[in-house]
Amino acid sequence: MKRLIILQLALAGCAAVSGLCGGAALAADATRGKQTYIRVGCFECHGHVGQGGAAGLKLAPDPLPFDALANFVRTTSGQMPRYSTKILSDDDLADIYAYLQSIPKPPDPKNIPALSP
């Protein structure tokens, strides 16, 4: 958990320094984003609803700020491959971000009757 928080802060800082603009995310389409998320294979590591898995971090609900996510996707040197604009356009990335934002938080376990004593 501590590593995830440090990674998120580092990505946010990189995005702020690089001056990336999150305006593209404002006109994005979550339905197209879901289709693109599946088409380019994000689900293989991050799960079908961004829940994360053995090979990929949790992306949703509450994704990183758009600028941080975009910077990471374009410049990563880690286990995840880089996605250039030739592979994943800025519009496609904005759509994926809209999809991640559309994923609702799971219910609080305290509010699930079957789990209550």
Is residue 32 included in any domain, yes or no? yes
Is residue 7 included in any domain, yes or no? no
Per-residue confidence at 17, pLDDT binned at 50, 70, 90? very low
Is residue 61 included in any domain, yes or no? yes
User: What local confidence, expressed as pLDDT, does residue 116 receive?
Assistant: 80
CATH number for 51? 1.10.760.10
Is residue 112 included in any domain, yes or no? no
User: pLDDT (tens digit, 9 = 90+) per residue, 88-112?
Assistant: 999 999 999 999 999 999 999 989 9
Domains held by the chain: number: 1
Is residue 81 included in any domain, yes or no? yes
Is residue 53 included in any domain, yes or no? yes
| SS3 of the chain | CHHHHHHHHHHHHHHHHHCCCCHHHHHCCHHHHHHHHHHCCHHHHHCCCCCCCCCCCCCCCCCCCHHHHHHHHHHCCCCCCCCCCCCCCHHHHHHHHHHHHHCCCCCCHHHCHHHCC
Whether residue 71 has pLDDT greater than 60: yes
Tell me the residue range of the domain where 60 lies: 16-105
Is residue 57 included in any domain, yes or no? yes
